Structure 1
Amino acid sequence: MVVLDWLLDSDPAIRWQVLHDLAHAPVEVATAERSRVATEGWGARLLALQGEDGQWAGGACFPARKFRPAQPEPGQPWTATLPTLQLLRDFGIDPHASLVRRAVAQVRDHCRWEHAGQPFFSGEVEPCINGRLIALGVYFNQNVDGVVSRLLGEQLGDGGWNCEAENGSVRSSFATTINVLEGLLAHERATGGSAESVAARRRGEEYLLERRLFRRKSTGEIVNPAWLQCSFPIRWQYDVLRALEYFRSVGNAPDPRMDEAIDLLRSKQQPDGTWLLENTHPGMVHFTLEDVDGQPSRWNTLRALRVLRWYEQSAR
């Protein structure tokens, strides 16, 4: 209860999810709190930062390329339109709120991708971007069927996806795959999906499960030690908590091949019941959401508790 009180002493974006997912609050209470995300706190601040051109930071994802093509990019552009909409989705902002519908319409009508000038919701060329775009399009009630079709044709033989496939790679990437899986699942939930999309998503899940979410299939060694750390915001990057959150959202009983990842997550809980912020991805931000790495994180605590609740209830 102390941890829940600490989580509830926060922004509406966290508070409504705690009420809905952890505190067993009545639906109308959580819904009322969710409605505040667009008008108070972080969600309202992000909406207010949208430019008159309908974009955030003047671009879709890589505005520096458009404005200063000969200059090196000043860090990751986490202030651009794509990562900003991703944060609003993470916040659980109500997509039907008038402020949100107006903001998304501005993106739809005016935001263009830097490399070829195509409309934002028609997609980019990299599957790691297109996976996130599908999730955003579904969430904000935009048609992304064409992007889904493109991704289905880009699945690799081992079951996953990789942005480097266009450069000849035939091996999948954990990061690209998790982005695509999240998008396909969102689209399937919204539309029912197709036999092809469901099969592709399940093959992608198997790619991760065969590797126990963080190990090489060939040797069993850890692919990247950074994936064992809990990050937020997650951006495009992969980590174990993100993978576990995905499988929680699918809603099936946990696969035994994720048991090691669950044990890792449990081991990270602090004596006070919280999880720490770890491995913050560097780059430009609109504003910070939490303290520095190594300090208790409300976001990671909420996400970890959600995963463990699903895992433990499914195991009964």
Structure 2
Amino acid sequence: MKIIDILLNSDPAVKRQAQIYLLGEQSPYTEDGWIGKFLSRYDSEHQTWGNGIYGPKWTSTFYTLRDLKSLEIDPHHAVYQHGLNTLLHNMWNPEQSVEDDVCVVAMLVSLLSYGQQPASIIEEMIHYLRSMQMPDGGWNCAAVHGPSRKSSIHTTLSVLEAYADYENHGYTHSLPVIKEQIQTGQAYLLRKKLMKRESTGELILPYIVDFHFPTRWKYDVLRSLSYFAAIRYPYDPALKEGLDVLKKKFTKGYLTRGSQYSGRVHFQMETNKIGAMNTLRGLMVLKHYDFDVYVEVLRKEIAI
């Protein structure tokens, strides 16, 4: 069986994204499969998931909305919108600094931009993110509460994703002033070849070459490559080592689901040896950066 057939017979959210991003077909939003399971766990009385706003990880409202966004729920779905309103009510008040974690604010921007929330609220958050860029070009959530003057790969990628979601979903007011920040943030990751310490050339963290879905707030090489591919970033030699890691993991014609971050979950999405979402995301990267390898993977017969 070919990997595209496996994806098309996977969860409806995976099937839909494979049709759109790999086959170039149109496909309507779905509420079936994993998306439906998440929706069924919504507490309509309190407008929350998991009896919490940001915690517990990973069943809280915040991280459930992250999961739904990654599965591309209809952004106008009433439950998604109610969840966003809950986050705004509990997590954002610029006058009182209810939420001042840079990484969390960035992820909020992504969720709100996807949900087409009012520009005025998102602009407040963008203004905050703009003010928190570090001298080395990235961002670090620890800069708010500690003395750190060095950026974090986790936070930097979250901010870059937020800026991309802001632009992709039609917000324009701050684009002229964040363009330079985007470029310096990208340069920060590229200097590290997406995964290595500039000082020693060693891996920044051992687990970042393992690919995870869901990604939670944490960085890994596939998440970084997915960001660059999604914005149609041209090939850069600094991407080579990350792409080599990805290609090596495709030896059997698919990616595994990878290790999971510890914490509560509503249910286990990926249960097979083939990680459908990781494979889909990896193929999207290969389609942009190495079409020949992409075609080779699609032609490979997979024993299941």
TM-score range (shorter-chain normalised) is 0.7 to 0.9
Q: Secondary structure at the match of 1:86?
A: helix
> Aligned equivalents of 1:177 and 1:110: distance in 2?
22
Q: 1:297 aligns with which of 250, 257, 275?
A: 275
Q: Deviations over 1:208-257 (max 9, x none)?
A: 00110001112211111110111100000000000000000111212111
Offset at residue 279 of structure 1 (A): 2.2
Which of residues 62, 65, 73 in structure 1 aligns to 2:55? 62
* Alignment counterpart, residue 103 of structure 2, candidates 117, 121, 128: 128
Identity of aligned residues (%): 34
CA contact (8 A) 1:215 1:223 kept: yes
Any runs of at least 4 consecutive aligned residues in structure 1 with deviations exceeding 3 A, and if so which?
109-114
Q: Secondary structure at the match of 1:84?
A: helix
SS at match of 1:78: coil
Task: Give the deviation of 1:24 after TM superposition.
Answer: 3.3
Structure 2 distance, partners of 1:266, 1:313, is 12
Secondary structure at 2:290 match in 1: helix
Equivalent pair of 1:59/1:111 in contact (CA under 8 Å): no
For residue 106 of structure 2, what is the amino acid of its counterpart? G
CA gap 1:106/1:173 in 2 versus in 1, 3 angstroms? closer
The reply on whether 1:101 has 2:93 as its aligned counterpart is: no
Q: What is the match of residue 164 of structure 1?
A: 142
TM-score (norm 2): 0.87
The corresponding residue for 1:7 is: 7
Could you say which residue in structure 2 is the equivalent of 1:311?
289
User: Is the contact between residue 255 and residue 274 of structure 2 (CA under 8 Å) also seen in structure 1?
Assistant: yes
- Structure-2 residue corresponding to 1:213: 194
Equivalent pair of 1:209/1:257 in contact (CA under 8 Å): yes
**Could you tell me how far apart the structure 1 residues matched to 2:197 and 2:84 are?**
39
By relative contact order (CA 8 Å, sep 6+), the higher-ranking structure is 2
Question: Does 1:151 find its partner at 2:144?
Answer: no
TM-align CA RMSD: 2.2
1:46 aligned residue: 38
- Call closer, same or farther: CA 1:249–1:15 in 2, change over 3 Å: same
Decide whether aligned partners of structure 1 residues 110 and 221 sit closer, same or farther in structure 2, where only a CA change above 3 A counts: closer
Q: CA–CA distance in 1 between the matches of 2:251 and 2:209?
A: 16
Q: State whether residues 4 and 23 of structure 1, in contact with CA within 8 Å, keep that contact through their aligned partners in structure 2.
A: no
- 1:15-54: per-residue Cα shift (whole Å, max 9, x none)? 00111111233x2xx2x3xx22x2x111122122111111
Question: How far, CA to CA, are the matches of 2:229 and 2:87 in structure 1?
Answer: 35
Tell me by how many angstroms 1:118 deviates.
Answer: 4.6
> Unpaired segments of 5 or more residues in structure 2?
294-304
For 1:199 and 1:179, locate their aligned partners in 2 and report how far apart those are by CA, in whole Å.
16
Gaps of 5+ in 1: 64-76
Q: How many residues align?
A: 284
Query: What does 1:214-233 align with in structure 2 at a 5 Å threshold?
Result: 214-233=195-214
Distance 1:106 1:279, change over 3 A: closer
106 and 204 in structure 1: CA distance in 2 versus 1, 3 angstrom threshold: closer
One-letter amino acid of the structure 2 residue matched with residue 41 of structure 1: G
